Structure 1
Amino acid sequence: MSPSFRSYLETLTATCAQPVFKSACEAGGYEVMSPRGSPLNKDLEFAPHHPVVRTHPVTGWKSIFAGVGIHISRIDDVYDYEDTMIREYIMRLITRNHDCIARMHWTKQACAIWSNACTLHAATPDTHLVSGNRTGVRASGIGEVPYLDPASVGRHTALGLPMN
């Protein structure tokens, strides 16, 4: 991503909402706790605005909010076609860039833990590679309110890696 486009993305926020959360809970028969994790997560209506580029609370590195393609309803203050263009571009970068992907080799008793602060995740249809059923249990911690520290740097810069 060009430095000027990275800088532009740092000026944007997005409305983070799960438009299908209610219907998924109803279809699965899931009881929704309120509040869920953070006291701000009340009932089924929750749509905060977070920076598109955020600073990871542990590493201090800048990264694109991993949910830009999936967990947001729109990028704020841009036209609809710009919202679509930006989100599709970010999703292409994330899904086609092997530098952004960690692949889990599932074995018996395997466990995967990740931070939603900067990690996309997806269950791939490869359970045929493991005997039996693969099941998942979700545990959500109370995370910080996402922020962008203008002094933070990306992973490549922090590790002294070349920018390709």
Structure 2
Amino acid sequence: ISSCKNLQDLNLSECSAVNDEAIKIITAGCHILLYLNLAHTEVTDQSFRSLARHCHFLQFLSVAYSRQFSDRAFLHITNGRGCRKLAHLDVSGCTQLTSIGFDAIAEAFRDLENLVMDDMSNLSDKHMNNLCKRLNNLKQISMWSSARQLSGFAFKQMSLLTQLTIIKFDANKMITDD
């Protein structure tokens, strides 16, 4: 794949053989990737380091349900040059992320338009506060099965997002019309 210099769209979701070395080789050769789906793979923080080094044009990234990376993964993106054009990020099911990871996402992807955080049982008001303060270009947020612990405060923070047109969530018993 790495010899496909014009490759722009690559879906490797559920490919069990995809590892950090494969991502390093692919990203080093495919400099104009726009779309990369790594959902349900075994990528670690090292793969994110490769993305930060080589993927300057990446607009779509899914690492949904990939649980081998840590908060440090997004710190690599923050400290690197790549992925600055990212418009869509899917971290669904990545319950290993903490406030550090969410802060790094907010710092690294200032132009993000679509954030998918489905099946994130650990999503909190603090996470949403940090995201809403920095991601001013967000148009869509998806939090299916994630917003159960969010209070009205988190939803008030979303009012800071003047570009926001779509919010998806379910099963929240703490939200009120206040």
TM-score under structure 2 normalisation? 0.21
For the pair shown, the structure with the greater C-alpha radius of gyration is: 1
Q: Larger RCO: Structure 1 or Structure 2 (Cα < 8 Å, ≥ 6 residues apart)? A: 1
Question: Which is richer in helix?
Answer: 2
TM-score under structure 1 normalisation? 0.22
